[in-house]
Structures are given as structure tokens and as C-alpha cells.
Amino acid sequence: MVDIPEHLLLRSAEAKAKALGVPVEQVLAEMRGEALPPSASTTPSETPEVSTPDDSETSAGEEPAVEADVVAIGDVAEPEVQADAQAVEPDVVEQPLAAVATTGDAGPDVANSQPPASGGDSPLAATVSPRPVAQPEAVPEGVRTQRLLTVVKARAIQQVKSSPADKVNTWPHLMIAEFTALLVMTGFLIILSVILQAPLLELANFNATPNPSKAPWYFLGLQELLSYYDPQIAGVIVPGISGLIGFMAIPYIDRNPSTKPSDRKFAILLFTFFLAGSATLTMLGVLFRGPGFNFTYPWADGIWFDDLKDWVYFE
Amino acid sequence: MADGNGGLRLSERIGEMATRVRGGSVWESMFRPGSPLKKGYSDTPRNRSYVIMNSVLYHLHPVKVKRHGVRLSYTLCLGGLSFFLFILLTITGIFLMFYYRPTAEAAYLDVEALSTSVAFGSLVRNMHRWGAHLMVLTVFLHMSRVFYHGAYKPPREFNWVIGVMLLLLTLLLSFTGYLLPWDQLALWAVTVGTNMGGFTPIFGPGVKFALLGGIEVTGNTLLRFYVLHVLFLPFIIVIFMAVHFWRVRKDGGISGPL
């Protein structure tokens, strides 16, 4: 139940009191549920019920933060309005719903007969239209009765789209696959570590520069570039600008909304070029660079990369 | 069944014991409703939801996922494996920290002693090193997979940016770890690597100086890289990972299908 702010309650009560010609205090008391309605012609229930949105379909379990938005609706003899924040766009509920005159001659029977038309679980969206569905009948010309009917929640901060999707339970379908992958990876790593010894050369010596000196393998592509180009280009522009900033900017440069491979041939071509290029440069740096960072053939002169020394043997 | 002497068979005793433990209040308090470890678990759709919804797993996974995302051929599990390798590296790394002192005098001897005289020391060190290389590889392949699926497109643009940051942090973690054995390979690979970074104009030399704690690799560098490697970078990467995983779910779960 959402508490209606005091100033809104007061404003609503004033408007209603003006329309009905009764004291403000009476209407206010009635709205708060402290006193019985002055006559049967006024609405039976004044405290609207706001149902909390059922966000089970988001399957994320979070309550979307919403701001309460107070909506004034034309005088309606409707016991309750279910403001389902997700079923309808709530901020269009600002127009009078099927408005019913509640003054004098309309009598209690109107008040009682009206609810089935718009209340309950009949699609509220149908009655919610940008324009009034029906003009108030017995309200004098120029008097627009306003009454606080309900407090509905404003649009959720996050857009919850619940389009039907083919889904399966995470347990067991995803968890089993993940757990298997995890076990396989652990097994693979243990076997690898039993077979291959991590390199440990002699103690670090500042006076004995090994020839060649190579960076870790993931930087060897860059080192390879550095041997071709000026450091300003290979050491700055390629890794810094195109590598880092360029990669981060990809989603903002590629505005093509499609994810179909046939629609994004150019993007795929570029990325594949990058992959092939970096793989080639890294392989060159790891395997085909010997003393003085000159070209060698690994099958002729052996591997000049210490991380790999125990991996591959060439006799 | 009685064994003829009025006693129970061992298997029956164990079974009875297990039933008593699983029905006990301590066991009951350990698992929330719907856990498969709880007594009386049955494989119903409701319990399948509870397994996720009522456990800490709910921080990582929704109750339901898109069917195509479960297929191994879609993701190759690369993101999950990267995360798992990070956990493995944390565990093995903590083990290594017990035997390692980040000083120019002690580091190399410690690594040597670890490899020769500590139980499983060599295995754990190998796992840490190869796991680190593998993680660089899986993170990079994960990025490629995401690119080919176009999974960086709206609303997932920013998660891609976070992902690139994670790749960078992974490289930095690996690179800082490279120096710690303090052997010839470590020293000169890091020298070459930081020289390359030093080519960056304006702030390049400054960054290099701050990173090395001097103009070349020294014992100061070792301490810096150690602190970066075991404390600072893991701290940062965990934060980025948390945001990354959170955004995966908030941006509508896994992308696709193609």
C-alpha cells in the first residue's frame, strides 16, 4: 500500500469538496477512512489498492526502482484500480476513466453498476486512452471534478521487456555444462603442469643481457612491430590508440544493429584480419626470431623462447 | 538387515547415520529450501528454480537462461573458464605466497626451494604459470567470440568496454607476475616490456619510472610488481568482473541467437 502524500490528499479533497459542495474537512476525513461517506452516492471505497508489480519474469529478482507518481482521475465510482506497472504504461492513466456522475440524481445504483465495466481484471489498457472515454454527465459545465483515485508507479528505470523466449532452467542444464567445463579445465591444467616444467633460468643478472631478449609472448607481436617501425608508431599508435582505445570504441563506431554474420561482413573481415595479423606477428616473434632478433627457423636453430624450451624438442 | 548377531551391516549404519545427519537441525540450517543437498529434495520445476534462487548462485545466474546459450558451441564456455582460471590462479597464488619473499636477494632462492623442497610446490607453481598463460588466451578468445556474435551491440556496448579493461588487467596481472621468479627470463622480458611502454610520448617515461621505481628494473621494481600482482590488480579486476557479470544479466542475459 502506497501512502498518499498529505499535500496531494488535501488538494484532491479541496477539489472534491468544491464540486460536491461539502466542507473540505468532511471529504478529507472520509478520504482517510476516518468517517463514513456523507451519502451513499459518493464512492464506496476511497483507498485505492496498488498492486506491486510482479517482476518474476525478469528472473533477476530485483525490485525495479520506481518513483511514485500521483495521478488524479476524474470522479469515478470505481472501487479499486489495479495499477500494474508492467501491464500498462502507467503514466497515461492521467485521463478520466469511464467517468460517472456521482452527484445527486445519479444515485447509488450507478455507483454500484459501474465497476464491472472498468474494474477488476478486465483489461485496463482498454479503458486507458489518451482522451476521456465519456464525458461526465451530471457535472455542471465548467466544473471539473478531480479526485485522487490512486497512486501508480511511474515507468521503471530499467526497461523490462518480457518477450517470450525459449528458456531452460539454469539448474541443471547450464550448471552441469559449466561444472563439466570447470572439471575438464582443472584436469587439463594439472596434467599440463605435471608434464611441463615452468621455466626457471639462472638468477637475474643485470650485466648479462641474453640474446635475444624477448617480452612475454602476448607482447611479442608488439615487439615484432617495433623491429619494423619507429617506436612512436609501433609502441604508441598501434597498442595505445588502435589497440586499447580503438577496441573500447568498437561498439560506438559499429552502429550496424544486425548481429547476423551476413550483414556485417566488413566488421568480421576487419576483426579476422586483426586476429590473423596478431597471431602471425606473435608466432613470428616467438618462433622465428633468434639472436639479435634476426630471423631464424625453429627447426634449424631451435626455439629462442624460454617459456617454450621444455615444450618442443628439435633434434 | 541383521547380520545374525542382532547388529546392523556397516552400509546400513552409514545410511542411517546419513539420514540422521541430513534430518538434523544443523544440516537443516546450512541449506536453504530447495537445495539438492537437503533431505527430501525432489527434482521438480519448483525445486529447480529454488536451487538458483535460494542460493548464492543467484548472484551469478538467473533462474532460467536462453536455451541457445546453454549450447557449448555458442560460448565455448570461454568467459566462465576465464573466471574459473582466475579463481584457480588465486588459490595457487595464495599457496605460492607462503613461500615467497619479494626481495632481490630472496626471491630467486625461494622459487628454487619451492620447486625442489616443498610438497607439490613445483606442481602448484607450474599450474600458476600455465594457468596464467591460459587465462590470457581464454580472455582473448572470449573477446573474439563476443565480437563474432556481435554481442557488443546495444544494450551491451558498455559491457564490451569493461571487457576490454578486463583484458588489459589480465595482461597486466600476467606481466607483473612474469618478473617475480627473478631469473634471467623474468628480468629481461620485463625490461623489454617496460621499454616498449616507455616509448609512449609525454607520460610514457613517467609511467615507466613509476612502474619500475627507478629508471631500470631493480629490487624496487620487484616489490612494486609483487604488490601490484598480489593485491592491487586482483582487487581492481574483481571489481571490474563484478560489474561485468552484473551487466551481462542486466543487459538481458546472453546475446543472440544469431
Residues A235-273 have pLDDT tens digits of: 666 777 777 888 999 999 999 999 899 999 999 999 999
A200 touches chain B (CB under 8 A): yes
**For chain A, what percentages of helix, strand and coil (3-state, to nearest 5) are there?**
45, 5, 50
Given an 8 Å threshold on Cβ–Cβ distance, is B65 in contact with A170?
yes
CA distance B160 to B146: 9
Distances (CA, A) of A177 to A171, A172, A181, B66, B166: 10, 8, 6, 14, 24
DSSP state, residue A104: G
CATH 1.20.810.10, applies to B76-250: yes
A299 has a pLDDT exceeding 80: yes
Give the DSSP H or E segment for B65: strand B64-66
Measured in angstroms, the CA of B228 and the nearest CA of chain A are apart by: 17
Per DSSP, what are the bridge partners of residue A70?
Answer: A151
Beta strands in A248-311 (DSSP E): none
CA distance B223 to B216: 13
Q: Lowest-confidence range among A46-50, A151-155, B69-73?
A: A46-50
A194 touches chain B (CB under 8 A): yes
pLDDT at position B206 is 84
Q: Lowest-confidence range among A6-20, A280-294, B3-17?
A: B3-17
**How much is the average pLDDT of A29-41?**
63
Q: What is the pLDDT of residues B21-35, one digit of tens each?
A: 888 889 989 888 888
Per DSSP, what are the bridge partners of residue B80?
Answer: none
Find which of A58, A157, A167 to mutate to test the B interface (most B CBs within 10 Å of its CB).
Answer: A167
Per DSSP, what are the bridge partners of residue A203?
Answer: B183
Chain A residues 55-84 with CB within 8 Å of chain B: 59-61
The segment with the largest mean pLDDT, out of A84-93, B53-62, B124-133, B197-206, is: B124-133
Confidence of residue A311 (pLDDT cuts 50, 70, 90): low
CA distance B134 to B124: 15
Given an 8 Å threshold on Cβ–Cβ distance, is A251 in contact with B157?
yes
Q: What is the pLDDT of residues B233-247, one digit of tens each?
A: 999 999 999 999 999
Find which of A62, A163, A168, A200 to mutate to test the B interface (most B CBs within 10 Å of its CB).
Answer: A200
A240 touches chain B (CB under 8 A): yes
Burial of residue B3 (number of CB atoms within 10 Å: 0-12, 13-18, 19+):
exposed
CB of B36 within 8 A of CB of A136?
no
Confidence of residue A128 (pLDDT cuts 50, 70, 90): very low
A222 touches chain B (CB under 8 A): yes
Query: Across the A/B interface, how many CB contacts are shorter than 8 Å?
Result: 217
Q: What is the pLDDT of residues B87-137, one digit of tens each?
A: 999 999 999 999 999 999 999 999 999 999 999 999 999 999 999 999 999
pLDDT at position A236 is 67
Given an 8 Å threshold on Cβ–Cβ distance, is A251 in contact with B154?
yes
Type of residue at A107: G
Q: What is the pLDDT of residues B47-61, one digit of tens each?
A: 999 999 998 889 899
The residues spanned by each domain of chain A are: 6-153, 211-308
Chain B CB contacts of A170 under 8 Å are: 52, 57, 61-65
Range list for CATH 1.20.810.10 in chain B? 76-250
Residue of A nearest to B79 (CA): A178
